[in-house]
Amino acid sequence: MTVQSSRQGPAEPAELRRVHLIGIGGAGMSGIARILLARGAAVAGSDIRDSRAVLALRALGARVAVGHDAANLDLLDSPTVVVSSAIRDSNPELAAARAGGLTVLHRSQALAALMAGHRVACIAGTHGKTSTTSMLTVALQHSGLDPSFAIGGDLTEAGSGAHHGSGDVFVAEADESDSSFLAFTPAVAVVTNVEADHLDHHGTEEAYVAVFDEFVERIAPGGVLIACADDPGAAALADRASAAGVRVRRYGVSPAADVRIASYRPIDHGGLAVVEFAGEQVEPRVVEPGVVEPMVVELRVAVPGEHMACNAVAALVAGVELGGNVPGLLDGLASFGGVRRRFEFKGNAGGVRVYDDYAHHPTEVDATLRAARAVAGDGRLLVAFQPHLYSRTRLFAAEFGQALGLADKVVVLDVYGAREDPEPGVSGALVADAVPLAPSSVHYEPTWSIVPSRLADLARPGDLVLTMGAGDITVLAGELVAELDRRAAAEAPA
């Protein structure tokens, strides 16, 4: 759903002096709260449960209630209320705020106001937004800049997904799922890919594609679109933008890219890409008068998968556009340790390596499993997948099944509905039935709590187990490590 705010456009500064955030513990909302607190605002909010994010915000001075109740609005005097699209109209705090005439803002409007006075870089796309935004942030930091940032995940180095920096750059993950990225006016816009998703909001693939064109129209005069030349949707968007007079830079493996990955090979847990700058060159090498060679750099990435190297190239190009120096940017990208829930290592127990990942679209599942296969080496690859949203499961069950077929053993959980109500006939069984493996290698497990035990039964030393999905399956990764530890201890000699 799309929350209707009580005003249009970004917030005024006075409206962000006392702010109540409904769902304050969410990745996007907690980030806004952190920046507001750093800027001296009085911040309150509520969430359905305590969490690490909520505890951190309380330590920073926020007043946070557990549970949603109209009385929570009294934590501050006449606050501006900020909500995300995940908050339903029936929420008692939202209903009370509207009835009381309080200003209600969508999360994107509040974030747009926090960007005021900064050079804004927005990273959008169906997949890879969080990783690319995080890479750009770390790269800029190593380049001597201190950007403000708001990311939909926590950097492993910083432990947070948001920061109020001292520099004039603001880096933000731009969410297309509910069209909220149309609130921003970026100087640098990155689009990693455009592939049908979030049709529960957009309705059709054509409408989904069209909202990216609207996003490009939001680029500030003199700004630039950085688009992946390998993705058909992003490449077509770049062509339309260029025809409309927008400056465009393309990256990727494709010969159409002016910042091109000439080669890539896995090394250790990450990879090494050789990157050539052509077109608008950075420090080109003059071979002789009138003859110029493109700059060639080696880009090391500490996270696995060629798709991650491609994200890193996008961050490198954006960093150059924002004034970062190339050696510093490369150093930052090489040191980037990842984002929580993006192929995050959770532990090694009984000789079994356990990772957790946020992938929740077939293309993401495919890319992550290909990277995981390389990390697994001679071991088997086991995956526990939790479908996210009934509408997405119904639309893409066959594609999910095909992608999961890259694993050796698959456990499919039931659907994590999030903001949606159940749909008759739509369950994780649709995905499990579509996996092209032998029936003995595919398990549909609708009982959430049984999954760690089931995975421990299937795993053996040398295997890599990956829990995957955008829901609460992330909790099970830690429980699996504990279960494997318990079994290993029980089997050890006295």
What contacts 255, CB < 8 A, 6 or more positions away? none
**88 plus 120 within the same structural domain:** no
Q: How far apart are CA 284 and CA 262, in angstroms?
A: 17
- Confidence (pLDDT) at 100: 94
- 488 — pLDDT class (breaks 50, 70, 90): confident
Which residue range is the domain that position 54 belongs to?
A: 13-107
CB 446 within 8 A of CB 412: no
Using only C-alpha atoms, the chain has a radius of gyration, in whole angstroms, of 23
Q: Of 335, 356, 373, which marks where a domain is finished? A: 335
Asked if residue 6 belongs to a domain, the reply is no
CB 435 within 8 A of CB 350: no
Q: Of 107, 133, 152, which marks where a domain is finished? A: 107
Asked if residue 375 belongs to a domain, the reply is yes
- 196 — pLDDT class (breaks 50, 70, 90): low
- Confidence (pLDDT) at 26: 85
Name the least confident of 253-267, 281-295, 339-353.
Answer: 281-295
Average confidence (pLDDT) over 300-311: 87
Is it the case that residue 4 has pLDDT exceeding 60? no
Is it the case that residue 66 has pLDDT exceeding 50? yes
- Confidence (pLDDT) at 294: 65
**91 plus 157 within the same structural domain:** no
- Confidence (pLDDT) at 53: 86
Taking each helix axis from N to C end, the angle separating 451-458 and 474-491, rounded to the nearest 10 degrees, works out to 50
The arrangement of strands across the sheet holding 148-150 comes to 162-163, 148-150, 169-173, 119-124, 188-191, 224-228, 247-252, 259-267, 270-277, 295-301
Is it the case that residue 132 has pLDDT exceeding 50? yes
Is it the case that residue 55 has pLDDT exceeding 70? yes
Q: Quick: pLDDT tens for 357-374.
A: 888 888 888 888 988 888
Asked if residue 493 belongs to a domain, the reply is no
Catalytic residues: 129-130, 173
Smallest CA-to-CA distance from 151 within 176, 178, 125, 132 is with: 132
Pairing of strands 148-150, 80-83: unpaired
**412 plus 484 within the same structural domain:** yes
pTM, to two decimals = 0.75
Q: How far apart are CA 169 and CA 195, in angstroms?
A: 29
Q: Of 335, 354, 385, which marks where a domain is finished? A: 335
**317 plus 183 within the same structural domain:** yes
Would you list the DSSP string of 38-58? HTT-EEEEEESS--HHHHHHH
In the chain, what percentage of residues exceed pLDDT 70?
90
Is it the case that residue 292 has pLDDT exceeding 50? no
Q: How far apart are CA 432 and CA 411, in angstroms?
A: 8
- Confidence (pLDDT) at 175: 82
Q: Quick: pLDDT tens for 79-102.
A: 999 998 788 889 999 999 999 999
Q: How far apart are CA 285 and CA 283, in angstroms?
A: 7
**417 plus 474 within the same structural domain:** yes
Average confidence (pLDDT) over 328-334: 92
Q: Quick: pLDDT tens for 462-483.
A: 999 999 998 888 888 889 999 9
**43 plus 100 within the same structural domain:** yes
| Whole-number average pLDDT of the chain | 87
CATH number at residue 126: 3.40.1190.10
**325 plus 360 within the same structural domain:** no
**408 plus 424 within the same structural domain:** yes
Name the least confident of 38-42, 223-227, 269-273.
Answer: 269-273
Asked if residue 1 belongs to a domain, the reply is no
The arrangement of strands across the sheet holding 409-412 comes to 344-349, 352-357, 464-468, 381-385, 409-412, 442-444
Average confidence (pLDDT) over 48-74: 92
In the chain, what percentage of residues exceed pLDDT 90?
56
Task: Determine the Cα angle at 147 with ends 144 and 149, to 5°.
Answer: 145
Average confidence (pLDDT) over 4-15: 61
Asked if residue 243 belongs to a domain, the reply is yes
**327 plus 360 within the same structural domain:** no
CB 343 within 8 A of CB 355: yes
Number of domains in the chain: 3
Is it the case that residue 287 has pLDDT exceeding 60? no
Average confidence (pLDDT) over 404-423: 90
Q: Quick: pLDDT tens for 419-431.
A: 788 999 999 999 9
SS3 382: strand
- 319 — pLDDT class (breaks 50, 70, 90): very high
**165 plus 184 within the same structural domain:** yes
Across the strands, what pairs with 83?
106
